Each structure stands twice: as C-alpha cells, then as structure tokens.
Amino acid sequence: MEHILLPSTIEFQDTDEKNVAKVVITPCQQGYGTTLGNSLRRVLLSSLPGAAVESVKINGTSHEFSAIDGVQEDMVEVILNLKQLAIKCHSDESIVLNLSKKGKGDITAADFEKNSDVEISNPDLKIMTVTDDKKEIDMEVTVGKGSGYVPVSEKDAKSLDLGTILIDSFYTPIIDVGYKVDMTRVGDVTNYEKLTLKVETNGTISPKEALSQSTKILMDYLGLVLEASDSGAAVPKTEEVVEEAEEEVEKKPKKKAVKKTTKKKDESVSA
C-alpha cells in the first residue's frame, strides 16, 4: 500500500471577529484537503446538538400574523427576532422562560427571568419595541434541545395551550463554515495541499469545541466501517429494520402456498 502523507501541522488561529476561528491543516495529500474540508463542513452545519426557541405565548396574541397593540413590531417580526436567540440549555427537558415588562422602550433577551438551566449568549438581542407607556408584556418562551432544523409542520400542536404559537427551530450552534484549499510544498514536492477551515458559532460553543465534536461524529461513522471491514461481519441492523425483514419473510411463503393450491384446483378441473 502506497504511503499517504499525514498532516504534520494543525494550527488554530483566533480572528478579530467574535466567535470566529480558523484552523489550518497542512500538508495534506493531494485531494485530501477538499475531502476533509467538505466532510467537516457538512457535519458542522447539520449534526451538532444545540438549543432553540420552540414556541412562544404573548398576552393579546392568538396566531403568528397578529398585530400587537402598543408594540412597534407585529408577531411575525417578534418571531424572527426570537429565532436569533443564542441559547445554551443544561436540561434535557424543555424549559419555559418568562418575561414581564411594563412601559415604553425596547425589550431585549436580558429581560427574561433568570433560569439556572438556560444561558443566553446574546442578551442584547432586541425582541420588540413597546410604544405605549401603559402597555404590559407577558411572554412565555419554550426552549429545548435538538439538532439541525425542525419546521413547525413536524411539531405536535395538539397539546399546546390556547394562544401558544409554534416556531421553526434552528438548533445548530453553527452560523457559518467555509474552507479553502491552497497548494503547498514539502521539500521538492509541490502538489500537496493546505486546508484552511473557518468556523463561526453563535457563542454557545467555541469554534474549537465545535470542530472537536464534528470530528468525533465522523470518527464514529468511520469506526463502524472499519470494524465491519476488519471482522468481515455486517453492521448489526436496528430493531425496526430487523422486524420489517422478518415480516416480509413470513409473508412470502404464504403467497407461494396460495399459488400452489390454485394450480391443483385447475388441474383437477381440466382432468
């Protein structure tokens, strides 16, 4: 087997941008910069766990297209602002955050009542602007853990209280991931690659920790392939898949038996 050069330098670089970091991996065998960069990017964007707002309830509103008396924004704008909340949840159960405020002015994420199970990384985020001195806002926001993107259509609305509005949830703590591959040299050989990966998070996780988690996910998948290849045995199927296969096996003999019975009847008639 031909020797494949492994990277000898992996360097993390901080940037002037908040919650943004770069990692430089070099030298990579030709083609491996793109392979590694694209794999890490896809896992970072799709598979890391996080927390997000799942529903909201505000006094005086009944649906997402409601206008809110005494508030500059309508409900659609408020929901868009709530989707930008950067939340770190320490509980596996859903958590309800409460907010009560009276009077004119901006309402921000810092106005939510403190909860030991929830950290808000962007407390300065504006949620709405109250324009009436006598207006009182009572808000309940439910947050929970998950991964990826879950639209409202995939959520259960049957058990919700009256006036509770479901929200599309973006659980991923990753805002953006980009990578570039440059040519580099090792001695007299000039066709090696240098991979530069740029990761931006929402502040609930560091770029370095995000890269660590995504690498572990890839290793888990590749480890299954390696284990199956070394042992020569297939990866065990899930219980659901096994049950479906057993049902199909049970059905097939019955169909064959019916065909045989029909054939015998036909032969007796022709005789």
Mean pLDDT of the chain: 86
> Distance between CA 130 and CA 88 in Å, rounded?
27
Buried b (16+ CB within 10 A) or exposed e, 26-54: bbbbeebbeebbeebbebbeeebebbbbb
What is the structure's pLDDT at 269? 39
41 three-state secondary structure: helix
pLDDT band at 244 (very low <50, low <70, confident <90, very high): low
CA count, 13 A, side-chain hemisphere, 214: 27
What is the structure's pLDDT at 238? 58
Model pTM score: 0.77
pLDDT at 253 over 80: no
**pLDDT single digits (tens) 125-165:** 999 999 999 999 999 999 999 999 999 988 887 777 888 99
- 7, 27 contact by CB (below 8 A): yes
Q: Which residue has the higher pLDDT, 123 or 265?
A: 123
Domain 9-47+173-231: top CATH class: alpha beta
**According to the CATH classification, is domain 49-170 in 3.30.499.10?**
no
